[in-house]
Amino acid sequence: MKESGRRILVTGGAGFLGSHLCERLLAQGHEVLCLDNFFTGNKRNVAHLLSDPRFELIRHDITLPLRVEADEIYNLACPASPVHYQRTPMQTTRTSVLGALNVLDLARQCNAKVLQASTSEVYGDPQVHPQPEQYWGHANPVGVRACYDEGKRCAETLFMDCRRQYGTDVKIARIFNTYGPRMHPEDGRVVSNFIMQALAGQPLTVYGDGAQTRSFCYVDDLVDAFIRLMDSPREFGGPVNLGNPEESTMLELAQRVIALCGSASDIVFRPLPSDDPVRRRPDISLARSVLKWEPRIGLAEGLGRTIDYFRRLLDDEQPVREHSLHGQ
Ligand code: NAD
Ligand code: UDP
């Protein structure tokens, strides 16, 4: 395998995390094949990369077999927000499971390394806190989140079996809540919801009493970790937790977003969705020791950058929004 200028396939490359990863890989001098079916992603996320001759955008659904040449594969294709993945739940499971099988078949054909974007959701509503990789989790197999949780758990099984059966160089990243520019403004995730609401002067919708916790990682830190994991020795496949251990309640997050936006918005309380995990924080000891990685960007700085992005997005979209309103 070439050390520099590798050919790298990113499935789900037109999504939030994928678009940042494509950008970083191009900057490192690689050739990037960005594959997406645009279910939740958008060509706009990678429009600025299209003029680079080392970048190629392919419309494809990973539930169907793939035929391309690659040295490395990052498998990110899958809707990630609960609102999106619950909209067509059977397609979500299909994407995780058939997608993993297709990506692993391709990796074997090309003798490529392959990284799976797994999730902290494999721990379900965890009874161990913070969550280490050895914890097997507490997931409801028949609840509304199962299409995602169980799909991702099955994908991890397929990746580990492929390593054991065929010796494929697989890497499993268990990603904890990650945020930043290019999140879909209407995907229902808490960071995008709160920022959009605060900037519009609307009430921030805290689900439940807001005492549930999450730990938020800024996208640039996560992309660093992805690349370190892909470059890690063959013997190391994970799973490895990737996330920022800085934990906060959703009520604290809402107050912080209001303050950072300089907004006069109120907070309102809405029903808690079912199976919503109560606490979540990664134990990142393994990533620290093996990948020599830890996040650098704290919540205040990351939120600031994300707020700037959404502000620009709203400014740019203003004429479009006004136009479509007048057209109604
Ligand atoms: P996203 O929805 O922005 O990106 C997912 C991308 O996959 C989109 O571009 C979408 O169009 C594409 N896609 C979906 N189904 C597809 C299919 N069948 N074939 C081809 N493309 C398909 O979400 P994201 O936040 O960028 O998440 C990327 C990956 O990281 C996902 O696998 C997600 O499960 C995982 N992850 C993300 C987070 C997070 O906090 N952002 C946390 C845990 C895991
Ligand atoms: N949440 C909230 N208000 C919102 C959206 C989400 O209080 O407008 C809560 C949600 O109930 C969950 C947390 O924020 O407890 C994180 O939700 P998100 O959908 O971002 O991610 P996930 O639940 O997958 O971690």
- Residue with CA nearest ligand 2 atom 21: 189
DSSP H helices in the chain: 16-27, 82-87, 89-110, 146-166, 190-200, 219-230, 250-261, 285-286, 299-327
CA distance 73 to 214: 29
> Given this model, what pLDDT does residue 79 score?
95
Kindly give the distance from the C-alpha atom of residue 172 to the centroid of ligand 1, in angstroms, as a whole number. 15
Question: Which CATH number characterizes residue 49's domain?
Answer: 3.40.50.720
328 located within any domain: no
Q: What is the mean pLDDT of the chain?
A: 94
236 located within any domain: yes
Measured CA distances, 325 to 184, 197, 314 (Å): 21, 19, 15
Residues belonging to the active site: 148
CA distance 194 to 101: 36
156 located within any domain: yes
**Are the C-beta atoms of 133 and 190 separated by less than 8 Å?**
no
**Are the C-beta atoms of 222 and 184 separated by less than 8 Å?**
no
Q: 114 by DSSP, 3-state: which?
A: strand
Torsion of CA 314, 316, 319, 320, to 10 degrees: -80
Residue 4: pLDDT over 70: no
**Are the C-beta atoms of 43 and 105 separated by less than 8 Å?**
no
**Are the C-beta atoms of 174 and 122 separated by less than 8 Å?**
yes
Give the chain's domain count: 1
CA distance 143 to 295: 32
CA distance 270 to 107: 45
Higher pLDDT among residues 325 and 74, named by residue: 74
Peptide bond preceding 141 in cis form (omega within 30 of 0): no
Closest ligand to the CA of 85: 1
Residue corresponding to tokens 């999450």: 214
CA distance 65 to 70: 14
Cα-flanking dihedrals φ and ψ of residue 214, to 5°?
-145, 165
* Angle (deg, nearest 10), helices 250-261 and 299-327: 70
307 located within any domain: no
Q: pTM for this structure?
A: 0.95
Kindly give the distance from the C-alpha atom of residue 75 to the centroid of ligand 1, in angstroms, as a whole number. 9
**Are the C-beta atoms of 53 and 29 separated by less than 8 Å?**
no
> Across residues 249-259, what is the average pLDDT?
98
Residue 44: pLDDT over 90: yes
Ligand 2, pocket residues at CB < 6 Å: 81-82, 177, 188-190, 193, 205-207, 212, 214, 250, 272-273, 276
Q: What is the pLDDT of residues 194-239, one digit of tens each?
A: 999 999 999 999 999 999 999 999 999 999 999 999 999 999 999 9
261 located within any domain: no
Q: What is the pLDDT of residues 148-207, one digit of tens each?
A: 999 999 999 999 999 999 999 999 999 999 999 999 999 899 999 999 999 999 999 999
Which two structure tokens, joined as six digits, stand for 83? Answer: 């609102």
159 located within any domain: yes
> Given this model, what pLDDT does residue 5 score?
84
Ligand 1, pocket residues at CB < 6 Å: 11-12, 14-18, 36-41, 61-63, 76-80, 95, 99, 117, 119, 175, 177-178, 184
> Across residues 21-50, what is the average pLDDT?
97
Domain that holds residue 77: 7-178+218-245+276-296
- Residue with CA nearest ligand 1 atom 4: 15
189 located within any domain: no
Kindly give the distance from the C-alpha atom of residue 328 to the centroid of ligand 1, in angstroms, as a whole number. 32
Best residue for ligand 1 mutational test, from 22, 33, 35, 40 (most atoms within 8 Å of Cβ) = 40
Kindly give the distance from the C-alpha atom of residue 70 to the centroid of ligand 2, in angstroms, as a whole number. 36
Task: Encode 238-292 in three state secondary structure.
Answer: CCEEECCCCEEEHHHHHHHHHHHHCCCCCEEEECCCCCCCCCCCECCHHHHHHHC
134 located within any domain: yes
> Given this model, what pLDDT does residue 316 score?
83
Residues whose CB is less than 8 angstroms from the CB of residue 243 and which lie 6 or more positions away in sequence, other chains included: 120, 175, 176, 177, 178, 215, 217, 222, 281, 282, 284, 295
Which two structure tokens, joined as six digits, stand for 95? Answer: 């994407």
Residues whose CB is less than 8 angstroms from the CB of residue 3 and which lie 6 or more positions away in sequence, other chains included: none
Q: 75 by DSSP, 3-state: which?
A: strand
Residue corresponding to tokens 């393994």: 286
